[in-house]
Chains A and B, each alone.
Chain A
Amino acid sequence: MLREDALKTIYPELEERIVVTIMGAVAAELYTLGHRHNFFYLEHAMGLASSMGLGIALVMPEHKVIVLDGDGSLLMNLGSLSTMARYKPGNLVHIVFDNESLLSVGGFPTATSTGTDLAGIARASGVLCVMEANTPESLKAALTEALSGNTLTTIVSKVEAIGPKSFHMDLPLLENRFQFKRCLEAMQRQSKV
Chain B
Amino acid sequence: MPVSVTNSKLIYDALKACDVKIMSALPETWLVHLIRMAEEDPAMKLVRLAKEEEGVGISAGAYLAGVNSAMLMQNHGFLASINGIVSLALLYRIPLLLLISYRGHWGEKDPWQTQGGLATEPLLRTLSIPIWHLNTPTDIYRRLKDAQTLAHASLHPVAILLSRELMWEE
Whether both chains belong to one complex is answered with yes
Q: Chain A residues in contact with chain B, CB under 8 A?
A: 20, 40, 42-60, 77, 79-80, 82-83, 86-87, 173-174, 177, 180-181, 184-185, 188
CB proximity of B131 to chain A, nearest CB, Å: 23
Contact partner, B54, options A20, A56, A80, A188, Cβ 8 Å? A80
B138 interface hit (Cβ, 8 Å): no
Which one of B48, B50, B62, B91 lies within 8 Å of A55 (CB-CB)?
B62
> Is B11 at the interface (CB under 8 A from chain A)?
no
Residues in chain B near residue A55, CB distance under 8 A: 22, 47, 57-62, 65, 69
Residues in A whose Cβ lies below 8 Å from that of B61: 20, 51-59
44-84 of chain B: CB within 8 A of chain A: 45, 47-51, 53-67, 69, 83-84
Q: A45-B83, A83-B47 are known contacts. Are A52 and B57 too (CB-CB below 8 A)?
A: yes
User: Looking at chain B, what size class is its interface with the partner chain?
Assistant: 20 to 34
The docked-state distance in angstroms from the alpha carbon of A60 to that of B45 is 12
Taking a contact as CB atoms closer than 8 A, the residue among B55, B64, B67, B93 that contacts A174 in the complex is B93
A140 to chain B, nearest CB (A): 25
Q: Which of chain B's residues has its CB closest to A57's CB?
A: B61
Question: In whole angstroms, what is the CA distance A57 to B65 when docked?
Answer: 9
| Chain B residues near A (Cβ < 8 Å) | 21-22, 45, 47-51, 53-67, 69, 83-84, 87-88, 91-94
Q: Is the beta-carbon distance between A177 and B88 smaller than 8 angstroms?
A: no
Q: List 14 A-B contacts (CB under 8 A).
A: A44-B88, A44-B91, A46-B87, A48-B84, A52-B61, A53-B61, A55-B22, A55-B69, A58-B62, A59-B22, A77-B54, A80-B57, A83-B48, A86-B48
Interface contact B54-A181, CB-CB below 8 Å: no
Question: A80 contacts which of B22, B50, B93 (Cβ < 8 Å)?
Answer: B50
A45 touches B48 (CB 8 A): no
Q: How far is the CA of A189 from the CA of B43 in the complex (A)?
A: 19
Is the Cβ of A48 less than 8 Å from the Cβ of B48? Answer: no
Q: Which residues of A contact B55 (CB under 8 A)?
A: 51
Q: Are B65 and A48 in touch, CB under 8 angstroms?
A: no
B91 x A173 contact (CB < 8 A): yes
Contact B62 A174 (CB under 8 A): no
Quote the shortest CB–CB distance from A95 to chain B (angstroms): 17
Task: Find out whether the CB atom of B91 lies under 8 angstroms from the CB atom of A45.
Answer: yes
Known contacts A48-B56, A56-B65, A80-B54; 11 further A-B pairs (Cβ under 8 A): A46-B87, A47-B53, A54-B47, A55-B58, A56-B61, A58-B45, A58-B61, A59-B21, A59-B67, A60-B65, A173-B91
Q: Which residue of B lies closest to A174 (CB)?
A: B93
Residues of B close to A46: CB separation below 8 A: 87
Residues of A within 8 A of B65 (CB): 55-56, 59-60, 184-185, 188
CB distance from B127 to the nearest CB of A (A): 14
A177 CA to B50 CA, complexed, in Å: 26
- Give Cα A188 to B88, complex, Å: 23
Contact between B87 and A51 (Cβ–Cβ < 8 Å)? no
**In the complex, what residue of chain A is closest to B63 when comparing beta carbons?**
A181
Which 7 A-B residue pairings sit nearest by Cβ, starting from the closest? A55-B61, A51-B57, A79-B50, A55-B58, A44-B87, A48-B57, A45-B88
A125 to B87, CA, bound (A): 27
